[in-house]
Amino acid sequence: MTSNEEAIECTRKCIERGEDISLCFINCVIGDELLFEARKWIDVFKDLTVKVSKLYGFTNVLFSREFGSFIRDPRLHLRKKLFIYTHDLRRGRLKPEDYGPRAAAALRTSLRTNLRTLYQNWAFMGIIYNLYRDGVYVVYPEYKVLSLERSGKQRLRWIPPNLVLDIPGIGSLSFFIEVPRPLAWEDSSDLRESWKLYTALRPDIMVYGGRVMDIVDINSNPPIKKPDIIIECKELIDWYARIRDVRGPLAKPLTAEEWRNLWIQGLWDGLADVLGVTRREAIEEVKKRKGIRLNEVKIVELYRSVYNPKEMILISKYGVPNGIRRQLEGHDIIVIDNVGFDIDALSEVADRIKKYARHPDEYIFKIRDHEVAELIHRIIELLDSGRISLNELKYLIESYIST
């Protein structure tokens, strides 16, 4: 990646050459080497997606429009990000000195965001690939179209899972990617009720034991059901040195009325715990700075403190320094590092998740024979009506087997 001065120089060169300014700028700022690396990541992800789809019988895998465009052709996707800037440059609304830094920042943001999404999605697919060896099958979605995005899924004021799997003899697991998300709202009362979901912290993956079809619990603290496992994925070699703004309820000063809200109190407590200060000190720091900047290690610890899952797992593409590892493990965060794109390296994660599978309240059978299905239906009716007891049914079956 280039500096602002280099980006301005790239702009001037592309104007002088008279080429497609957007593509020329991408080649100059990003370069073939980085785009080649991005395509390698995409190829690995697509290959795993095909394998998982064959195993589970998925007829299609859906991505967000942004990510789908990126993995189809990363160079053309980045070109779209420069459309408005380049249009303004041609019309004289932007000078090269303004175009270069703005366009370069847009390219950096898009590339980093999409590579992060790619690694998160690869990890998710790698986990369910490893789970398949236990004979799991898909309970939800029923129509075998796996969606790895959440666009519009909250319109009915619920947060459904991306995937529910059943492990025969063990139980079910429900997977949620990048939740919680805001619910649809129509008036002020709806908005007040949903506001906590707008401001909630959003880990990469949450896993629940059992068949959990909606995690919204507005009256709880935070406003979703407590997850069994949280999984956070890191694709950068120096992710632990990165700094990020924590927004949501921390992005502005809060009134006394706001922070008296139970969920806000819980968030302050979690933040204070991670920073090693009192709640009052955390509030004053946020008020003073109109938000708060934390490095990625502290943000991971904040997820752990606020959501309090039974287990939290961090998956890192690269090795994690021993000091960072000890710090995370000191907060009961399990570190799986040096994963790269090795599917086998995720087998430990799959084994840990499997421990939290729970039997559902109802069971689904796939029966191809119509007469057998009708017979089972009649037996259920007899049991429900009380015309035969479960013990009587067991006795009849066991008597027949023993003869």
pLDDT (average), residues 189-194: 49
The reply to whether omega before 222 is within 30° of 0 (cis) is yes
Could you report the per-residue pLDDT of 12-49, keeping only the tens digit for each? 999 998 879 999 999 999 989 999 999 999 999 999 99
Q: Say whether pLDDT at 338 is over 80.
A: yes
Of 165, 174, 235, 236, residue with least CA distance to 205: 174
Higher-confidence position of 390 and 107: 107
Confidence check: pLDDT of 100 > 50: yes
Among 63-72, 85-94, 384-393, name the one with the lowest average pLDDT.
384-393
> What span, in angstroms and rounded, lies between the C-alpha atoms of 214 and 179?
11
Nearest to 134 by CA among 363, 350, 358: 350
Nearest to 204 by CA among 125, 130, 319, 318: 125
1 versus 60: which is more confidently predicted?
60
Q: What's the confidence (pLDDT) of residue 113? A: 94
What ranges do the domains of the chain cover?
Answer: 1-134, 138-361, 370-402
Q: Is the pLDDT of residue 284 over 80?
A: no
> In the predicted model, what is the mean pLDDT of the chain?
84
Lowest mean pLDDT of 120-134, 147-161, 197-211, name the range: 147-161
More confident residue, 91 or 281: 91
Identify the band that residue 247 occupies on the pLDDT scale cut at 50, 70 and 90. low
Residue 155, pLDDT score = 53
Q: Which residue has the higher pLDDT, 285 or 105?
A: 105
- Extract the tokens encoding 256: 């006394």
Hunting for tokens 């420069």 — which residue is that?
82
Q: How are beta strands 171-177 and 205-209 bridged, if at all?
A: antiparallel
Burial 270-298 (b: 16+ CB within 10 A, else e): bbbbbbeeebeebbebbeeeebbebebbb
146-179 confidence digits (pLDDT tens): 999 866 554 545 788 999 999 988 999 999 998 7
My answer on whether omega of the bond before 160 falls inside 30° of 0, hence cis, is: no
| C-alpha to C-alpha distance for 136 and 80, rounded to whole angstroms | 40
The pLDDT score that the predictor gives to residue 159 is 83
Give 117's pLDDT tier (boundaries 50, 70, 90): very high
Q: What is the pLDDT of residue 262?
A: 43
Task: For residue 363, name the pLDDT band (cuts at 50, 70, 90).
Answer: low
Per-residue pLDDT at 341? 98
pLDDT at 93 over 70: yes
Q: Identify the pLDDT of residue 371.
A: 77
The arithmetic mean of pLDDT across residues 365-377, rounded, is 70
What pLDDT score was predicted for residue 254? 41
- How much is the CA Rg of the chain, to the nearest whole Å? 25
User: 232: part of which helix (H) or strand (E)?
Assistant: strand 229-234
Q: Is the pLDDT of residue 184 over 50?
A: no
Region 64-92: mean pLDDT is 94
Q: What is the average per-residue pLDDT within 335-357?
A: 97
